[in-house]
Amino acid sequence: MPTTSPLTDNLLSPAVLAFVLGLSARLVKGDLSLPKDAFGLIAAYLLFAIGLKGGVELAHAPAGAVAGPALVTLLLGCLTPVTAYLVLRKFCRLGAADAAGVAAHYGSVSAVTFIAAQAFVAAQGAPAEGFMPTLVTVLESPGINIALAIGLMAAGGGRRLSTALHEVFTSRGLLLLIGGLVVGLVMGEKNWADVALFYDTKGPVFRGSLCLFLLHMGALAGERLADLKSVGPRLLAFAVGVPVAHGGLGVWLGHLSGLSVGGAAVLGAMAASASYIAAPPAVRLTLPEANPTYSLTCALGVTFPFNILVGIPLYYEMARRMGE
């Protein structure tokens, strides 16, 4: 049982402290970001490890236990880009292309937020279900593509959507997750035991790599802080308020679908997150007129730090109270 509050546990965890260190270094005009190749290697390792471990766990999960959470995750993937788009149009007063571009980021999933949420609930003694990586793949595509389709319809054209679909489904992150799931699903217990020390998401190698990854992400988030003035107060409010609303919806639906407290909290964090890896190239291909400053500043400069520092403990507390 945790001896301190979930928020304190989160703020004092090595991964979050590494994120704060990278962010702080950028604020004083220092640089703790990793070399591009090193960052890419660590990112690939983390995503493949998540998929691999998820596939191993999925092999033992009853189909009935996965069906309900998968259905509500698909529902979230359809709802979150639509609600984000409507708020961006009505409250933030963005044009159709800009609103659709930002909504695509907020309908998709931040894999780093997902990883951090899994680590957090495990530290609270409430680990999420092993098949959660499957839900990441279920949520990833609809959130991006529905927002892009809205943008194209608002612009009165059907251009480039097929190219964007190909970009999403063949992105490195999604291929690593899906590929890892397939490998983990068919490899068997004996083969998993041979590599578990390296790929187990609860092990020291994975957790240490996550610290380095978040150190780099902190530096990237620090770069975006200078752009906050350009997005305006309404977009800043959106970048916090909409993730909290999506997170609460994700927790509630996860609870209704039968997920554990940890699983519901992680699903909430997934719904609350905003993609800054898979979404940008898809938006660039389909809606080149959309201003990337809005989406990247909100997703990486505001929503990502908020979720890492405050949001994940908040979604866990929501899930814990619903589970009482």
Q: Which fold has domain 6-322?
A: Na+/H+ antiporter like fold (1.20.1530)
The average pLDDT across 223-245 equals 88
DSSP 281-297: HHHHHH-TTS-HHHHHI
Q: Which tokens go with 299?
A: 């997703």
The average pLDDT across 264-290 equals 86
State whether residue 32 is helix, strand or coil: coil
What is the distance in angstroms between the CA of the first residue and the CA of the last residue of the chain?
A: 16
Residue with tokens 């589970």: 323
More confident site: 93 or 160: 93
Alpha-carbon dihedral angle through residues 110, 108, 273, 51, given to the nearest 10 degrees: -40
DSSP state of 227: G
Q: Which of these, 238, 252, 244, 240, lies nearest to 75 by C-alpha position? A: 252
Whole-number Cα distances in Å, 41 to 45, 240, 285: 6, 30, 25
Calpha distance 88→79 (Å, rounded):
14
pLDDT band at 112 (very low <50, low <70, confident <90, very high): confident
pLDDT digits (tens, 9 = 90+) for 56-104: 888 888 888 899 999 999 999 999 999 999 999 999 999 999 999 999 9
pLDDT band at 2 (very low <50, low <70, confident <90, very high): very low
Residue 230 CB neighbour total at 10 angstroms = 11
Burial class (CB in 10 A: 0-12, 13-18, 19+), 147: buried
The pLDDT assigned to 164 comes to 61
* Range in 32-36, 172-176, 272-276, 317-321 the model is least confident about: 172-176
DSSP state of 171: -
* Range in 39-48, 254-263, 280-289 the model is least confident about: 280-289
Residue 143 CB neighbour total at 10 angstroms = 32
Burial class (CB in 10 A: 0-12, 13-18, 19+), 310: middle
pTM here?
0.82
Structural contact between residues 74 and 252, judged by C-beta atoms closer than 8 angstroms: no
Whole-number Cα distances in Å, 288 to 81, 144, 155, 157, 295: 18, 15, 12, 13, 13
- Which amino acid is located at 177 in the chain? L
The secondary structure of the chain in percent helix, strand, coil, rounded to multiples of 5, reads 80, 0, 20
The pLDDT assigned to 284 comes to 77
Q: Which tokens go with 6?
A: 């979930």
pLDDT band at 158 (very low <50, low <70, confident <90, very high): low
Calpha distance 135→30 (Å, rounded):
37
